[in-house]
């Protein structure tokens, strides 16, 4: 399940990073401003979050200790991206429903990091 979850994250990253101009023009002005002004460090955080999570999931499936490190990097990346989204950007107004998804993502990242740590502690990862 973790691999599928993180493949969706990679897809979301690629969709944002390579959004065609035609698709961008269909968005509201606030959303266009958001994507046009998205800082490089937030894009890097997004990439670290999703690719770290995917690699961590693969490592966990292969029972490798590095899974914990990869999930930790993933969490740091996700937190960096969400700091921008929640506190620094001012193009899109946040609502209760618009923050539910990012909060669920953060919770899943914490869970995967915790789970990989527990598996490592129990000696199930080599």
pLDDT recorded at residue 112 = 98
Q: What is the mean pLDDT of residues 41-52?
A: 98
pLDDT recorded at residue 30 = 94
pLDDT recorded at residue 51 = 98
> What is the per-residue pLDDT across 61-117, written as a single tens digit (0 to 9) for each?
999 999 999 999 999 999 999 999 999 999 999 999 999 999 999 999 999 999 999
Instruction: Tell me how far apart the terminal alpha carbons of the chain are, to the nearest angstrom.
Output: 21
């Amino acid at each position: 399940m973790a691999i599928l979850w993180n493949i969706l994250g990679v897809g979301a990253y690629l969709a944002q990073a390579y959004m065609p101009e035609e698709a961008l023009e269909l968005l509201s002005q606030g959303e266009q401003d958001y994507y046009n002004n998205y800082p490089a460090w937030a894009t890097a955080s997004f990439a670290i979050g999703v690719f770290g999570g995917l690699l961590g999931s693969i490592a966990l499936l292969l029972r490798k200790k590095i899974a914990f490190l990869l999930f930790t990097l993933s969490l740091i990346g996700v937190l960096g991206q969400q700091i921008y989204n929640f506190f620094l950007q001012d193009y899109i107004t946040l609502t209760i429903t618009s923050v539910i998804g990012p909060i669920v993502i953060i919770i899943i990242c914490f869970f995967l990091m915790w789970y990989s740590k527990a598996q490592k502690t129990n000696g199930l990862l080599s």
